[in-house]
Structure 1
Amino acid sequence: PVGSVILGGSVPALITSWEWPDGCVPFYKIKPLGKKFAKSFTEAGSPGHIYRLVYNALEQALRLPETTGAVDPRLTLDGAHHFLLPAFFETLDSLHRTKRNFSLVIRSYGSDGAAVSDALRAWAEGAHPTVRGVTSLAPCASASWRAEYADDGSFTLRPQASDGGVVEAGRVLSESAAVTMMEAIGDPPSRPRATLCRDDYSWWKKHACMPSSGKPLWLTLGDSSAHHLFFDDNIHNDANDSIVAVRVRESAEAPFAAATGEATRRLHGICLVRCPTLEPILRTSWFLERIDAAEREREKRFNTTAKQLSLLEAC
């Protein structure tokens, strides 16, 4: 629960856990309320006004330090607040300092990829006011991709142009080739790298936001060489409404197929993690804690083909 320290005992704590408490339902699931108060939840007249102190704490946590002078404009939209969460950069810095072999893939349905890329590059260049940069994580122009689902459900990547469209003459990566590229750690491993991917929102929307049509997360049965871990604030504990499409293949030579929504839901905490954004805003170690927890769960529940099939088929 979030808010117990900020609010005291008179206001119910905000629940950010994966499981819904008995008798409760997420606010956004109540369509008339979610639509009306989505952008004014803590303002006067809203049911969420009791959480205004939490909003204030979040706003304060996102403020740029006042003692650093002018901040690189790529790192802020208004000159007063961080554009990307400090916890995100803290996580990358910690993984690099502890010599973890990893790659970073930024996934988005929107047109904000260029701005995110610029902010990541500014941090990598050492311009961030509080978190040291990792030079190799500065995205290059060739590391920006546009995802597309075909009518038959197959998936490809094409180079993304600076305006967000695709480079018509660019090479097309098959789903297998896309996985190989995204799994690649730095060369050498001490130099992690970043890739950006704009996913196919139209396909997801066309299929009523079903998990099987969302942003792909790839699994190869029995392959422990890479641990895919997908963070998103729109991952839901709902087999019919979530943003990540777990796609599974039997071997590196086999085609991928979408897992069911129920199987996707069961993989939470192992390969995908819902990110209640207020958590990493208030606690910059949150991503690292979730990575550690996911690695433990993977080793315990998902480290053999038999265990993988047990979770994927127990639906």
Structure 2
Amino acid sequence: MFAERSPASLWPGSEERVPVSSRSSPPVSSRRRLVLHIDLNNTVLVSDSVTGLGTEAALDGFLPGVTWGRVHKGQWEWLNAVSYFSQFGRTAAFTSSSTGRPSLCPQPDTDLSVRGEDGRLYHWLLPSFFQLLIDLTSEGVDFAVVFRTFGTDLPRVLRAVSRVLREGHPLFHKLPQMFVDETPGKIRCSQKGVVLSRGPERVTSAGDDGARRLYSCLSAAHGIQGFRDHFDWWAGHSFSLAGGKPLWIDPFDPEVQHIFIDDNIRLSDQDTIVHPMVFSAPGSSIARSASSSELYDVALVQTDLLQAIADPHYFTRKVHECEDNYRHNLLHEVSATDLVTRAASLCSV
């Protein structure tokens, strides 16, 4: 049913989606198992090991593009108009200026903090990530986290998360007990397909049922684990969807929903970081490339780093939003298919 619809009509537009402010967490009985693919740099880490940017430099690159206002009588005023970046371009000292100083809290723990260029300690792993684990666990959700990054921080992140879940976090009284696989895996792409590997284990998309095998492998993810994706493949495709981090989605699967959260997810397929592939029929092994716009806020979430810093429940809200949109649109598609089937049977009488 999905293959027969144009990309624009695959999922109803945002105007048909439930406003975040009116949402509550869906009842557990109606929820699929969640596999959350979560980027690291500028998503749960305020840094970027690919470009070598530290905390302040990463914020300097991000915040001017999402902070809005105008120049009035020679002074910057905040309002919903144009971004600071569009007026002044990249500002190297944005976060240390009176205009852009961040509200990150110092954290004197070597696994949880990073020293900024100014010598102060900042959160390295955002508290909103740990709040997400707490929230979903308290809601009784069956879920797994799969870190997906181009950077080199994955081994340290896995070790840090493992230690925090064992020994605690100074901002949280109780964290869920979750298994953390501290062995990072790799995802490599080529003209022959995609290969997932961790240690001696290896799963490939080669063969007629390769895409289905990879989907099943990721759907069975347990606890918290991670893969380093293939940056050179993405760069070789001009940083477009075609070379992005692969994500398989089966809209006919009644048990599992995959959600990818990354700051570089964009509506333009020419400048986005995830390559979603959607299975075309129940049980099918054929997955077609899907546009980012089809799955935006359904299976793809573009991280708002400012919100992730300021709102401890940011990631939880975005997951709930995707669950709502996914469920709503699946019901819409199934109802439409039933009507077509019913009409065809009447015509054949």
Could you tell me the TM-score, scaled by structure 1's length?
A: 0.71
* 1:277 equivalent among 287, 298, 305: 305
1:148 aligns with 2:193: no
Residue identity matched to 1:156: V
Map residues 199-214 of structure 1 onto 2, 5 A cutoff. 199-214=229-244
Partner of 2:131: 90
CA deviation profile, 1:141-196 (whole Å, cap 9, x unmatched): 3xx210011223x111012xxxxxxx5xx23212433322322265xxxxxx0120
Partner of 2:92: 40
Residue identity matched to 1:94: D
Q: Summarize the Cα distance change of 1:305–1:220 in structure 2 as closer, same or farther, 3 Å threshold.
A: farther
- Secondary structure of the equivalent of 1:111? coil
CA distance in 1, matches of 2:289, 2:264: 18
* 1:116 equivalent among 149, 157, 167: 157
Contact 2:106 2:113 (8 Å CA) reproduced: no
Q: Summarize the Cα distance change of 1:183–1:43 in structure 2 as closer, same or farther, 3 Å threshold.
A: closer
CA distance in 2, matches of 1:43, 1:200: 31
Partner of 1:63: 106
Partner of 1:158: 197
Partner of 2:286: 255
Structure 1: 5+ residue runs without aligned partners?
A: 16-23, 65-69, 160-166, 187-192, 310-315
Partner of 1:133: 175
CA distance in 2, matches of 1:121, 1:129: 15
- Secondary structure of the equivalent of 1:40? coil
Q: Summarize the Cα distance change of 1:3–1:138 in structure 2 as closer, same or farther, 3 Å threshold.
A: farther
CA distance in 2, matches of 1:14, 1:228: 33
CA deviation profile, 1:109-155 (whole Å, cap 9, x unmatched): 111111111121122113311123322242343xx210011223x11
Contact 2:186 2:229 (8 Å CA) reproduced: yes
Residue identity matched to 2:214: A
Partner of 2:17: none
Residue identity matched to 2:201: R
- Root-mean-square deviation (Å): 3.1
Cα displacement (A) at 1:239: 2.5
1:100 aligns with 2:100: no
* 1:243 equivalent among 269, 273, 286: 273
Partner of 2:203: 173
Q: Summarize the Cα distance change of 1:295–1:2 in structure 2 as closer, same or farther, 3 Å threshold.
A: farther
Cα displacement (A) at 1:77: 2.6
Residue identity matched to 2:296: H
CA distance in 1, matches of 2:304, 2:79: 14
Identical counterparts, % of pairs: 20
Q: Summarize the Cα distance change of 1:301–1:128 in structure 2 as closer, same or farther, 3 Å threshold.
A: same
Q: Summarize the Cα distance change of 1:207–1:10 in structure 2 as closer, same or farther, 3 Å threshold.
A: closer
CA deviation profile, 1:35-64 (whole Å, cap 9, x unmatched): xx2x716169xxxx6xx44x32x3x33422
Contact 1:222 1:305 (8 Å CA) reproduced: no
Residue identity matched to 1:147: I
- Secondary structure of the equivalent of 2:146? strand
Residue identity matched to 1:127: G
Contact 1:147 1:155 (8 Å CA) reproduced: yes
Cα displacement (A) at 1:298: 1.2
Residue identity matched to 1:232: D
Cα displacement (A) at 1:236: 1.4
Cα displacement (A) at 1:213: 1.6
| More contact order relative to length (CA 8 Å, sep ≥ 6) | 2
Contact 1:235 1:273 (8 Å CA) reproduced: yes
Q: Summarize the Cα distance change of 1:203–1:185 in structure 2 as closer, same or farther, 3 Å threshold.
A: closer
Residue identity matched to 2:239: C
Q: Summarize the Cα distance change of 1:253–1:299 in structure 2 as closer, same or farther, 3 Å threshold.
A: closer
Contact 1:125 1:138 (8 Å CA) reproduced: no
- Secondary structure of the equivalent of 1:241? coil
Q: Summarize the Cα distance change of 1:26–1:81 in structure 2 as closer, same or farther, 3 Å threshold.
A: closer
Q: Summarize the Cα distance change of 1:308–1:221 in structure 2 as closer, same or farther, 3 Å threshold.
A: farther
Q: Summarize the Cα distance change of 1:308–1:103 in structure 2 as closer, same or farther, 3 Å threshold.
A: farther
